[in-house]
Amino acid sequence: MTSTVVYEGNLRTVCTHLKSGTVIETDAPPDNQGKGERFSPSDLVATSLASCMLTIMGIKARDMELDIAGIKVDVEKIMASDPRRISGINLTFHFPETLVPDEKQRTILERAAHTCPVINSIHPDIKVNTVFNWNEIPVH
């Protein structure tokens, strides 16, 4: 078993990762009768995509002996109605100034991101837009 999820009432759940004991609470968002004081379950889907992409990029970066620590991803989840669902996820990657991989490394990292298990699990009707804001490669 991976986790347990307990409904606390007032549209809040408490999710516990069994191996580590880490806890995540969720709330329904304000546009769906909730308080929006925590991640919503659909926020976690979009956020999990960014986290998964970074993790797979980290594996490839380690293989290339490239330190990618400090990459930040802005995550935007777009909702649709009838039925209520995630219709899009926009991800914008920002890289620390110290990270300037060459073209081959960039290609490897971008391809790795687009092969993560979460992106391969997202329904094809969900439009995923990914922008990699790489730093300029210095000209010698």
pLDDT of residue 85: 96
The answer for residues whose C-beta is within 8 angstroms of residue 83's C-beta and 6 or more apart is: none
Q: Are strands 85-94 and 12-17 parallel, antiparallel or unpaired?
A: unpaired
- Summarised one tens digit per residue, pLDDT across range 16-73 is 999 999 999 999 999 999 999 999 999 999 999 999 999 999 999 999 999 999 999 9
pLDDT of residue 119: 97
- The CA distance from 26 to 28, in Å, is 7
pLDDT of residue 34: 93
pLDDT of residue 37: 95
pLDDT of residue 50: 98
- Summarised one tens digit per residue, pLDDT across range 97-118 is 999 999 999 999 999 999 999 9
- The CA distance from 52 to 110, in Å, is 13
pLDDT of residue 137: 78
pLDDT of residue 29: 94
